[in-house]
Amino acid sequence: MPAPHLDTALSGPILDLERCIIDAMPSIEHWLRNEWQKHSVPFYCSVDLRNSGFKLAPVDTNLFPGGFNNLNPEFMPLCVQAMMAAVEKICAGARSVLLIPENHTRNIFYLQNLATLQAIMRHAGIEIRIGTLLPEITTATTVSLPDGGKLTLELVQRKGDHLLVEDFDPCVVLLNNDLSTGIPPILQNLEQTVIPPLHGGWATRRKSQHFAAYDNVAQQFAGLIGIDPWLINPYFAACGKINFREKKGEDCVANTVDEILRDIREKYVQYGVKEDPFVIVKADAGTYGMGIMTVKDGAEVRALNRKQRNKMAVVKEGLQVTEVMVQEGVYTFERVNEAVAEPVIYMIDRYVVGGFYRVHTGRGIDENLNAPGMQFVPLAFEDTCLLPDREAGPGCSTNRFYAYGVIARLALLAAAQELEKSEGRIAAAVA
């Protein structure tokens, strides 16, 4: 399918940015190759992008992506090739993997994601079984899927420092569980390789740490191709000791909102943007679009009603929100069939393997789209986002998708640096 319509008259800056990226392709790819010699690439990753017509930036990076079922099936060979490279790095000769999923097994679309991951790994020559941490599943349980396939979930067992399921002792444990509620004892101190690492889960990870790493990457990249880093980088700051229900810490949030709004206004004046600036206040740990609100004035934080406070107070699995990140809001002016849309890019190892548009008919251009009612439209990634047409103009689907792939890989590089730093902090704390 072609790229969605970019519904904005402010196409000049983003087209200039795309042209800069296309023209600098050899330098960009060389720079990225060098960076991957310095850093260990995450096993897999998805990145939410927003394209405002004057800015293209990541707004979230997920180290436990759960939407492989939404990718274009035509790119299965690309996924398989990338998976081969990813597994080879982790465990030479790796032939068996135990996949640990999220616990919300009633979400049939998530289970379809697991089946897709399983298919990718099997095509890559890996024997894979799915082991659940749910205590109610005591024997192998087969679930029917919307596409007519079936998925078998098995009870995870621990023997010594190994995880296994019935008659299957894998050499690698692959997490598709973001550890929002903590690291269960059964996953601790394993002899097997665990990927992503346990410190990549939300029990220890913070979005603000990721965007601090991204800020560093964006500065380097902007210097490489000669652009203002703000065009690819949202302002942000973190606040701790928050309790929305008891109105604790809200002054920090409100003041930070106003400070970031002032910074955005200065940039909007510089680039002739007439829209009203906004920020997103979101839980600093967690996913699934919970604990998020759009704010256009710090006073709104102090004026939240009880329902809004309750909504912001907890995230997935009832986890209490005590830290938030205030992030510059990036408008999305892309539309699919008149519905607001944002691209989500998927990577295995350092390779872009596809993506999709998250679409929501009931949400606005300044709102979070990861919410009930969203839909997914697979992107037909022509030339896999890696082969732009340097003769074509910016804005054509091939070149736009290449730009998306570049920005997503910057977020992937930031995730690599973030994980290195968090591993160092944990090692220092243990010592």
Of 237, 224, 209, 218, the closest CA to residue 415 belongs to: 209
State pLDDT tens for residues 257-313. 999 999 999 999 999 999 999 999 999 987 666 678 999 999 999 999 999 888 888
**Confidence at residue 12, expressed as pLDDT on a 0 to 100 scale:** 44
User: How many angstroms separate the CA atoms of 18 and 245, rounded?
Assistant: 44
Q: What is the pLDDT of residue 235?
A: 98
With 0-12 / 13-18 / 19 or more C-beta atoms within 10 angstroms meaning exposed / middle / buried, residue 116 is buried
Q: How confident is the model at residue 424, as a pLDDT?
A: 76
Query: Which pLDDT value is given to residue 321?
Result: 86
Provide the pLDDT for residue 303: 94
* Residue 429 neighbours by CB distance under 10 Å: 7
Strands 162-164 and 193-195: unpaired
Single out the residue of 176, 188, 218, 173 nearest to residue 62, CA to CA: 176
- Angle ∠(66,72,73) on CA atoms, nearest 5: 95
Q: According to the model, what pLDDT value does residue 7 have?
A: 44
pTM: 0.92
Residue ranges in the chain modelled with pLDDT below 50: 1-13, 380, 382-383, 430-431
In sequence order, the 6+-apart residues with CB closer than 8 A to the CB of 414 are 61, 210, 211, 213, 214, 216, 217
C-beta separation of 97 from 170 below 8 A: yes
